[in-house]
């Protein structure tokens, strides 16, 4: 049996983008009549078969891609998120396909196999990729796109994210309410949009209370395209903060372990708070005060949006921001009076 030709292969043969082929097939604007006729004629000659009736939401295939480095043992927040997305899809009589994008494929800007083989009617980009790789996906996907737990710096892109800036501000406010004035931030800036927004929330809270920012207390927890690593965390041992706000709970747990090895007690000597309300493996027993992300609601919203976009290519939600929930545990204690706003 001959292999079915894909939309990507049609685009390559005509030296046009997959988006152009998709628009021609769907009768959308943005393609000249002459080019549309060429595309449709070639599709007929090559026996191109459209996989499903336009607009149907049953038996829909949704692709999901995630960068390889996010799926290590310490970064398996995304395994949890994908599982909830998959379960939600099954409830809607839909199917999800996860493709893990290797580091070399991302560097080479290799399109996901899901797109090359036209396996899905829509694509969810879960977590951050390089700007160059995102641009390639945006330009040549040929199917509706949705970003999940990240939002690109591009126009007309739909995304579902948590309220990272507000959450970062809330966690820092909490430490200020406990009387801490020397507060550090742990998270590699420019690694992901989520970390950056949580860092900006930290800075906002400090400014609102008239606390001067100390760059020595902004500590990396990973390489920009790497995994959380205690070896990356360089502690300012000669001038230690009394508290740290960490960009995620895994980072908080790794930091706490590192601090204990240096002889510090948690929280008696140093308070630590995190973000996500997600721990696993050897860290699962840590009682970290945190800001919970509702991954169930994120999965629900993401699937709702991508199915509507598959049904109607003009449908757009913009960036949907989900609020989180503050959870107090025992990793931080009061050391003084609350610091008032300036």
Give tens-digit pLDDT for 262-305.
Answer: 999 999 999 999 999 998 888 888 999 999 999 999 999 999 99
Same domain, 100 and 147: yes
Asked whether 120 and 113 are in contact (CB, 8 A), the reply is: no
Asked whether 138 and 152 are in contact (CB, 8 A), the reply is: yes
Same domain, 156 and 298: yes
The pLDDT of residue 85 is 94
**pLDDT grade for 1, boundaries at 50, 70 and 90:** very low
* Residue 275 lies inside a defined structural domain of this protein: yes
Alpha carbon separation from 23 to 48, 142, 157, 159, 308 (Å, rounded): 15, 8, 17, 22, 17
Asked whether 246 and 274 are in contact (CB, 8 A), the reply is: yes
Q: Where are the alpha helices (DSSP H) in the chain?
A: 7-14, 18-26, 33-46, 77-91, 103-107, 113-116, 131-140, 164-177, 193-208, 249-261, 295-311
**pLDDT grade for 195, boundaries at 50, 70 and 90:** very high
Taking residues 162-191, report their average pLDDT.
Answer: 97
Same domain, 116 and 194: no
pLDDT surpassing 80 at residue 250: yes
* Number of structural domains the chain divides into: 3
pLDDT surpassing 60 at residue 2: no
Q: If you search the block for the tokens 């030709």, which residue do you land on?
A: 5
Peptide bond into 155 cis (omega under 30): no
Taking residues 188-198, report their average pLDDT.
Answer: 94
Same domain, 129 and 201: no
The pLDDT of residue 55 is 42
Same domain, 70 and 150: yes
Most confidently predicted of 91-100, 127-136, 203-212, 223-232: 203-212
pLDDT surpassing 80 at residue 234: yes
Lowest mean pLDDT across 25-34, 162-171, 198-207, 299-308: 25-34
Q: pLDDT > 90: what percent of the chain? A: 63
Q: Where are the alpha helices (DSSP H) in 92-162?
A: 103-107, 113-116, 131-140
The pLDDT of residue 53 is 43
Read off the pTM: 0.81
pLDDT surpassing 80 at residue 254: yes
What average pLDDT does the structure give for the chain? Answer: 89
pLDDT surpassing 70 at residue 87: yes
Same domain, 157 and 172: no
* Residue 335 lies inside a defined structural domain of this protein: no
Q: Which two tokens stand for residue 230?
A: 């205690």
Same domain, 233 and 249: yes
Same domain, 171 and 261: yes
The pLDDT of residue 54 is 43
Listed residue (282, 306, 204) closest to 245, CA to CA? 204
Would you tell me the crossing angle of helices 18-26 and 33-46 to the nearest 10 degrees?
90
Burial 14-33 (b: 16+ CB within 10 A, else e): bebbbbbbbbbbeeeeebee
Listed residue (336, 325, 324, 285) closest to 183, CA to CA? 336
Q: What is the rounded distance in angstroms from the CA atom of residue 258 to the CA atom of residue 263? A: 9
* Residue 238 lies inside a defined structural domain of this protein: yes
DSSP SS3 for 3: coil
Same domain, 146 and 170: no
**pLDDT grade for 51, boundaries at 50, 70 and 90:** low
Taking residues 177-184, report their average pLDDT.
Answer: 98
The pLDDT of residue 52 is 47
Domain span at residue 14 reads 1-32
């Amino acid at each position: 049996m001959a292999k079915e030709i894909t939309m990507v292969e049609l685009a390559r043969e005509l030296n046009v983008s997959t988006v152009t082929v998709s628009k021609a097939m769907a009768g959308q604007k943005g393609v000249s009549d002459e080019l549309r006729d060429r595309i449709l004629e070639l599709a007929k000659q090559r026996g191109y078969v459209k996989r499903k009736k336009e607009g149907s939401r049953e038996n829909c295939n949704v692709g999901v891609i995630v960068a390889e480095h996010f799926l290590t043992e310490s970064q398996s927040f995304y395994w949890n998120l994908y599982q909830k997305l998959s379960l939600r899809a099954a409830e809607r009589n839909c199917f999800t396909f996860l493709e893990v994008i290797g580091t070399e494929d991302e560097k080479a800007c290799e399109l996901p196999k899901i797109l090359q083989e036209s396996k899905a009617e829509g694509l969810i980009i879960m977590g951050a990729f390089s700007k160059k790789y995102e641009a390639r996906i945006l330009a040549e996907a040929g199917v509706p796109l949705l970003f999940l737990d990240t939002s690109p710096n591009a126009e007309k892109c739909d995304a579902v994210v948590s309220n990272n800036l507000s959450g970062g501000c809330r966690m820092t406010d909490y430490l200020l309410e406990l009387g801490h004035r020397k507060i550090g931030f742990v998270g590699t800036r420019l690694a992901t949009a989520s970390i950056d927004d949580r860092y900006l929330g930290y800075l906002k809270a400090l400014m609102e209370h008239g606390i001067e920012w100390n760059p020595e207390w902004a500590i990396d927890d990973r390489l920009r395209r790497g995994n959380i690593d205690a070896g990356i965390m360089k502690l300012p041992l000669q001038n230690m903060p009394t508290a740290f706000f960490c960009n995620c709970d895994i980072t908080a747990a790794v930091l706490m372990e590192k601090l204990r090895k240096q002889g510090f007690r948690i929280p008696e000597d140093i308070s630590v708070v995190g973000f996500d309300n997600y721990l696993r493996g050897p860290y699962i027993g840590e009682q970290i005060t945190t800001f919970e992300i509702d991954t169930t609601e994120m999965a629900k919203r993401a699937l709702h949006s991508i199915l509507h976009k598959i049904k109607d290519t003009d449908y757009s939600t913009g960036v949907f921001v989900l609020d989180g929930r503050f959870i107090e545990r025992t990793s931080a204690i009061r050391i003084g009076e609350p610091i008032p706003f300036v």
